[in-house]
Amino acid sequence: MYKTGVLLIHGFAGSRDEVRTLYDKLTESNIYARMVAVKGHEGRPRDLARTTYRDWIESARTEYADMIITCEKVVLAGFSAGGLIAVNLYREHECDKLITINTPVCYWNIRQIFKNIRTDFRKYIPVYFRACTDKRPASLVNFLKLLYTTRRYFGEIECDMLIIQAADDDTSHYRSGKYIYDSVKGTKKLLTPPRGGHGILTGEYREEVISEILTFINADGQPRNA
């Protein structure tokens, strides 16, 4: 039986590589961790289009069911839309702690997008072009369903929570972090690194962010079944 387990959930149209840096740091720190392979992801766009947001939640639910058998305490950590999936799991199971990392409530920061393009046109134009063309309409519709369905659930959360929102995130607007912080109850902390972008776990402030996550996970708290 592990004292603490951390379930890592990657983002929409992403992969486990988005949370792998955090996973590696957790395992190096002797913290049991698992990464969810969200159904339909890590394949072709048509594979993703054949799934729904309920399938994505079910992928995490299956992994969570295994973790609660082997761990005294369970921490849910969701990157980007993975945070929305984590919130849905919390509603069902009321885990011990919850972490959201650049989780969108307000989607796209247009000002930051134009700032990035002005800074490095050749780098960012292909990035934003792919972001607009590499997903099928059915996938985008299901992402929006997940977003708008979950938005109202934040007010139901009451647990220890760490909310991370990069100020220069172009995908999840910086207002998202404040919305989540103001909505949830319980002991909570909002961390707003000035830089790092959407992929903050691999960006400039990754060491500081991961250090905060480790401190949060290791802080004393009552087990889920206490």
Please write the tens of the pLDDT for every residue from 72-131: 999 999 999 999 999 999 999 888 999 999 999 998 888 898 888 998 988 889 888 888
**Could you tell me the two tokens for 203?**
């960006």
pLDDT for position 221: 53
Burial category of 60 from C-beta neighbours within 10 Å (exposed 0-12, middle 13-18, buried 19 and up): buried
Exposure string over 135-174, b if 16+ CB within 10 A, otherwise e: beeebeebbeebbeebbeebeebebbbbbbbbebbbbbbb
How much is the pLDDT for 121?
82
CA angle 71, 56, 142 (to 5 degrees): 150
Full set of structural domains in the chain with CATH: 2-218 (3.40.50.1820)
Q: Which two tokens stand for residue 222?
A: 């009552």
- Tell me what pLDDT residue 11 has: 97
Determine contact, residues 79/10, Cβ cutoff 8 Å: yes
CB atoms within 10 A of CB 194: 9
Rounded alpha-carbon distances, angstroms, from residue 151 to 85, 86, 104, 170: 11, 12, 9, 19
**Angstrom distance (rounded) from CA 74 to CA 156:** 18
Residues of the chain with pLDDT under 50: 222-226
**pLDDT of amino acid 224:** 43
DSSP state for residue 199 in the 8-state scheme: -
For residue 95, what pLDDT is reported? 87
pLDDT at 161: 97
What letters, b where the CB count within 10 A reaches 16 and e where it falls short, cover 199-218?
bbbebebbeebbebbbebbe
CA 80 to mean position of chain CA atoms: 4
Bridge partners (DSSP) of residue 7 are 34, 76
Residue 116 pairs with which residues in a beta bridge? Answer: none
